[in-house]
Structure 1
Amino acid sequence: MKLLLIHTGGTIGMAETPEGLAPLKGLVEEAIAARLPAGTALTADVFEPLLDSADVGRIHWNRMLETVRNHQDAAVIITHGTDTMAFTGAALSQALAGENRRVILCGSMLPLGHAGDAEANLDLAISAAQGQEPGVFLAFAGKLLSADGLVKHQSHDADAFRSQPQAMPSPPKRSIFEDRKLAILTLSPGIPAEALKAILDTLDGAVLRIFGAGTAMNDPEILQVLAAAVKGGKRLRAVSQCEAGGLSPGAYAAGAGLWSAGIENGGMQTPEAALVHLWLN
């Protein structure tokens, strides 16, 4: 077996320093190499500098995609911090749709060597990398989760992730993440229309986290801001603020003004998946 390791950083590869936990080059690579089946050829692409996942974005997704595509005959494990794992899972799942690749994401809540979850997660990732089903998956807490709809629902426990069902992604219109100004915005009671307009004026598009099954405040000023943004060529895609269940446009009259403004229906998409959709389509 040929195995490609892309080590981006994160808690799994940290060690104690006088200033606290910090990334240590070589830690993950050695742990992977020690666990591989005999005869496995390992290739490692290690980010320099190693990243806290809070700093991961489109440039790093593009690097991961380029490396994966340059190793067509290799199984792939990507080690990554947990805080933006859901964004990277959605990014790789949608960007690689139709390319028949299998990618295993892996991270941990405690570093290697700290009697936590890191070693077991790596063991699961190595086992999962030998599978045949295409897709992007997360090896975490004894489970192999589809990475297209990840939700980090716990900030401390080892069982930190769930995966929400997503529609099967079609091959995207773009194969990489271009330099676009996109953001996730949350509608909340009392949000000023002028504040919403000010941020939308700086963006190429946005994901709107709206209420429940698809409602929003019936505020004429806010609805006018949203309609003007869409008319001006900005793509606005709505998702639910609820973790599960998705949107059902038309179910409530309170959403009529929102949908008439031309907002896209994100359906069951997580905010992360909807943001990636805007980036790639």
Structure 2
Amino acid sequence: MKNILMLATGGTIACEPSADGLVPKLSGEKMLTMIPALKNICNITCLELMNLDSSNICPDNWLLMAKTIYESYDKYDGFVITHGTDTMAYTAAALSHLLINLDKPVILTGAQKPLQATPTDAAQNIIDSFITAADKIPGVFLVFNGNIHKGSVVKKVYSENFAGFASINEQPAGTIVQNSINWLSSYSTISTVNPSLKLIDKLEEKIYILKLIPGLKPDILDILVEHDYKAIIIEGYGAGGVPTDKAINNFLPAIKRAIAKNVSIVCTTQCLYDGVHLDKYPIGILAARLGAISGTTLTTEELTIRLMVILAQTSDNKLIKEYVEQIL
């Protein structure tokens, strides 16, 4: 049987009632004892890494998770992280970039209802996660409601529905039905030669996500620059457009000023699907001419992590653009 390390980090899956509502209290070890079927899947070692509502997760927590996996890498065949759902897509994206040359499974999961609740999705999500971690396909994945989502494309799309998450602009990497995995064909080929695992241990936290609304004043960009933000992701309209000189609130001069001060401007879309096309309309073309970076088809979570990683390494605009826009 495979040897799997479980990292317990809290979240709804570990919640119990309190005077202030549901709070994560249940230990990882206790969760394992409540699901006896796990004994038939793999050998499990549990590490209590933290016990947080995932709204309280921050980049230092991502770095700790990555470091723990890195330091334990040779001892285990795979890893499962139990996690709150609210920021789990950010954590999945982060681990996808912090662990380089990964050749083992790293699986994140959580639940919309606590393990002790009735009904709950927690037990099956945990079982599915250990099945996936004990399988042969390497990489960072988020397992939820019978779906296996690649860590860099997943997004939480339901606040309560057990479906929870979706893969954005890609099909799920696989599905799990009656404890059997069906991988998408593109995941069926496994590289047999991988360089040694590499750990990224620095992140730039001064990233801001700005969601445009009609009437928003462009001086918000100047304020963010004054507060030393290194990158601003603009969630624009449709194909990634921002107001131009045809609007009362023209964003182009503020974008130009920000870029001149070496602040990275990334244009993405408020739409879930199909991504950004800055070459389609003047509202995108003009921003791109000023040096705005295209968010392509990436989620806001993935864009945030890419910027955190590359800006911790360089301030070279060309390298930043290449890293953000690369196809992985």
TM-score (norm. length: structure 1) = 0.90
Task: Classify the secondary structure of the residue corresponding to 2:90.
Answer: helix
Provide the C-alpha distance between the structure 2 equivalents of 1:39 and 1:86, rounded to a whole number of angstroms.
26
1:36 to 28, 33, 38: 38
CA contact (8 A) 1:174 1:280 kept: no
Residue identity opposite 1:146 in structure 2? K
Task: Classify the secondary structure of the residue corresponding to 2:60.
Answer: helix
Query: Greater relative contact order (Cα 8 A, min sep 6): structure 1 or 2?
Result: 1
Shift of 1:216: 1.4
User: Deviations 1:61-86 (Å, cap 9, x if unpaired)?
Assistant: 00000011111132100011011111
Does residue 163 of structure 2 align to residue 155 of structure 1? no
Does residue 290 of structure 2 align to residue 248 of structure 1? no
How many residues in Structure 1 have an aligned counterpart in Structure 2? 275
Shift of 1:42: 2.9
Aligned match of 2:221? 196
Task: Classify the secondary structure of the residue corresponding to 1:46.
Answer: strand
Task: Classify the secondary structure of the residue corresponding to 1:31.
Answer: helix
Provide the C-alpha distance between the structure 2 equivalents of 1:72 and 1:36, rounded to a whole number of angstroms.
21
Contiguous gaps of at least 5 residues in structure 2? 171-194, 311-328
Shift of 1:161: 0.7
Task: Classify the secondary structure of the residue corresponding to 2:17.
Answer: strand
Identity %: 29
Provide the C-alpha distance between the structure 1 equivalents of 2:7 and 2:303, rounded to a whole number of angstroms.
25
Shift of 1:141: 0.9
Q: More deviation in 219-228 or 109-118?
A: 219-228
User: Deviations 1:246-266 (Å, cap 9, x if unpaired)?
Assistant: 112211122222111211111
CA contact (8 A) 2:221 2:258 kept: no
Task: Classify the secondary structure of the residue corresponding to 2:251.
Answer: helix
Provide the C-alpha distance between the structure 1 equivalents of 2:276 and 2:19, rounded to a whole number of angstroms.
48
Alignment of 1:167-182 (within 5 A): 175-182=200-207
Does residue 127 of structure 2 align to residue 123 of structure 1? yes
Contiguous gaps of at least 5 residues in structure 1? none
Task: Classify the secondary structure of the residue corresponding to 1:183.
Answer: strand
Aligned match of 2:137? 133
CA contact (8 A) 1:32 1:122 kept: no
Provide the C-alpha distance between the structure 1 equivalents of 2:235 and 2:241, rounded to a whole number of angstroms.
10
Aligned match of 2:23? 22
Shift of 1:41: 4.1
Aligned match of 1:94? 97
Task: Classify the secondary structure of the residue corresponding to 1:199.
Answer: helix
RMSD: 2.2
TM-score (norm. length: structure 2) = 0.78
Provide the C-alpha distance between the structure 1 equivalents of 2:53 and 2:44, rounded to a whole number of angstroms.
24
Aligned match of 1:267? 296
Provide the C-alpha distance between the structure 2 equivalents of 1:188 and 1:19, rounded to a whole number of angstroms.
34
Residue identity opposite 2:10 in structure 1? G
Aligned match of 1:230? 259
Aligned match of 1:215? 241
Aligned match of 1:46? 48
